Amino acid sequence: MPDPSLGVAVIAAALLAGGVWLVVCGLREAPPALGPALEQLTGQGDDTWESSGPALVIDESSRLENLGALAYQRLRLPLPERTVTMLTLEGRSIGDYFVHKAFLCLAGLMLPSLATLVFSLVIPIGWSLPLVVGLAAGILGWFWPDIALRSSQTRTDSDAREAVSTYFDLVLLERLANQSATGALDAAAGLSDAPVFRHIRSALTQARLEQRPPWRDLHRCAEELSIPAIADIADIMRLEDQGASLADVLSARVAELRDAHLGAEKQEATRTSERMTLWMTIPVIIFALAMLIPPMLRMASG
C-alpha cells in the first residue's frame, strides 16, 4: 500500500516550486512593448487618452485590497476585457476582485484538509481524497468571482442602461436651462456617483484639462463600457457646432432609450415568468402521480 505522506510531500514540493517560480517571474522587469514604444518615438501614437477603467484600489486603508492590487501588478495576472468592463460598471476595484479570488481559492484548498484533520481525531481517514477535493475546490474558488460576475451581467447591464437614460434626461434639462453642450454634459455628469456617471465625468474632465472637445473621449468611453448610447449623446451634442437645435433631438433619443429599456425589462420579466412556470408544474406532476400510481398498481396486481 503506498504511503500517503509521499503524495503529500510531492504535492507540497510542487506547490512550493511553483510559488518560487511565480515570485521570480513577478520580480522581473517587463520588457517594453515594441509597437507603442515606436509610436511614441515617432509621435504617431495617441497619447491623449488614459483609460478610466476600474481603479486598482478604492479603499487605500485596506491592506487586503492593496495586496490584491500588488499581486495583480507584480505577477501580471490575466484580466479579460469583459471582466474589466463588468468591474467598471459595478464600481469595484481590481485589488478587491483579486483578493476575493485568492481568498476563495485558499479556502477551497484548506477546508477539506482541515476537516479531515479534525475528523481523523475520531476516525481514521485517508488523505488522498481530501487532497483531490481541495485541489478541485481551490480551482473552483479561483474562478468563482468570474462566475458571479457573469451571472450578474444581465442586471448590471440593465442598471447601466438605466443610468445612461437618466444621464440623457439630465443633459436635456441642463440644455433647457440654457447651458452649452459641454456645460450640460459636465453639469449632468456631476449629479451622481454611479459608476457610469463617474466614468463619463472622468472622460469629460480629461478632455477639459487638455482643452479639446470631449466627443472623442465619450466615444472611447462608450467602447470601454460597451454602451453605444454614450457615443450617441456625443454625436448629438456635437451638432451644436453646426447651429442645430439639440432639445428636440435629445428628447427623441431619450424616448427611444426609454422604449428600448422598457422592452428589455418586459423580455426579462417574460423569461422569469417562464422559469417560474416550470417550477410550478413540478408539484402538479408529483400530485398527479401520487393520485394515479396507487390505482394503476391495484389494476396491475389484479
User: How does pLDDT run across 256-291, given as a tens digit for each residue?
Assistant: 777 776 777 777 778 777 777 777 777 778 888 888
Read off the amino acid at residue 213.
Answer: P
Q: Are residues 194 and 255 in the same domain?
A: yes
- Specify the pLDDT at position 67: 85
Q: Are residues 135 and 167 in the same domain?
A: no
Read off the amino acid at residue 135.
Answer: L
Instruction: Write out the residue range of the structural domain in which residue 85 sits.
Output: 52-151
What total number of domains does the chain contain? 2
Kindly tell me if the per-residue pLDDT of 17 is higher than 70. no
- Please give the Cα distance from 227 to 233 (Å, whole number): 11
In the chain, the percentage of residues whose pLDDT exceeds 90 is: 0
Cell numbers 447651429: residue: 243
- Specify the pLDDT at position 182: 85
- Please give the Cα distance from 82 to 118 (Å, whole number): 41
Mean pLDDT (the chain, rounded): 77
Strand (E) or helix (H) holding 287: helix 246-301
Cell of 228: 453605444
- Please give the Cα distance from 88 to 184 (Å, whole number): 24
- Residue 87 — pLDDT band, cuts 50, 70, 90? confident
Q: Which of these, 66, 75, 67, 70, lies nearest to 30 by C-alpha position? A: 75
Report CA-CA distances (Å) from 266 to 155, 163, 185, 261, 270. 13, 18, 30, 9, 6
- Specify the pLDDT at position 45: 43
User: pTM of whole model > 0.85?
Assistant: no
Q: Are residues 138 and 162 in the same domain?
A: no
What mean pLDDT do residues 235-247 have? 70
Residue 140 is assigned to a structural domain of this protein: yes
Cell of 38: 515606436
CB 89 within 8 A of CB 225: yes
DSSP annotation string for 84-109: HHHHHHHT--HHHHHHHHHHHHHHHH
Q: Are residues 208 and 123 in the same domain?
A: no
Q: Are residues 166 and 237 in the same domain?
A: yes
Q: Are residues 161 and 143 in the same domain?
A: no
Residue 8 is assigned to a structural domain of this protein: no
Cell numbers 426609454: residue: 258
Please provide the size of the chain in residues: 302
Q: What are phi and psi of 46, to 5 degrees?
A: -90, 90
Strand (E) or helix (H) holding 205: helix 195-209
Residue 266 is assigned to a structural domain of this protein: no
What mean pLDDT do residues 103-118 have? 84
Q: What are phi and psi of 158, to 5 degrees?
A: -65, -40
Read off the amino acid at residue 297.
Answer: L
- Specify the pLDDT at position 243: 52
- Specify the pLDDT at position 269: 76
